Amino acid sequence: MQETDRLDQYILGHIDEESEYLKALYRDTHVKLLRPRMASGHLQGRLLKMLVRMIRPQRILEIGTYSGYSALCMAEGLEPDGRLYTFEINDEQEDFTRPWIENSPYASQIEFIIGDALERVPEMGLTFDMAFVDGDKRYYVDYYEMILPRLKPGGYILADNTLWDGHVLEPPPHKDAQTRGITAFNDRIATDPRVEKVILPLRDGLTLIRKK
């Protein structure tokens, strides 16, 4: 076992447990879905819950539901009157994800929406206190520019996969559109005076962005 694997096991042994429901969802994700690595997992899930507890958002926007694991983790941290709106563009995901959300203890606080967030969110007329972006990497800049005007001052955007397996270090031009999308997003955030930002080297990179 490599040193990093041992450290990962040590960390997981010294943080809060995930619920049995989340463990079952994570197992089912690995059995039934392609690319199960896309699910947040134990460590990131506990971090998402903790950040929600700290930020205390009234409304959360999530772009990229996938199996619903991250949505359920964030919903755990919500106040009883808080609400989470989560968007998944892949309609083939609905049959797997909707039952896991609707049978969870947080079903009444989660609105699971199949559709393109770039089109649907502007139609909602809502503002948000927090957003978690984990959708199509090609459109991270578009997501960001769509969310920021709808984010309250002092609100937070969390963007996942911003180190992109280290591909961000490869010299341009990048061959694939997803790497180009992530690097364009990182460059935009780094120079945007409207926000404060920090990248955490957690899993595949998690960027925390605070609107001034």
pLDDT of residue 1: 53
Blockwise average pLDDT, block size 10, the chain, 212 residues:
81 96 95 84 96 98 97 98 98 97 98 98 98 97 98 98 93 87 97 98 94 98
pLDDT of residue 63: 98
**Residue 85 exposure: Cα atoms within 13 Å on the Cβ side:** 18
1-211 maps to which CATH number?
Answer: 3.40.50.150
Residues 6+ apart with CB under 8 A from 133: 63, 64, 140, 143, 144, 147, 157, 158, 159, 160
102 backbone dihedrals φ, ψ, rounded to 5°:
-70, -20
Which of these, 56, 58, 57, 122, lies nearest to 87 by C-alpha position? 122
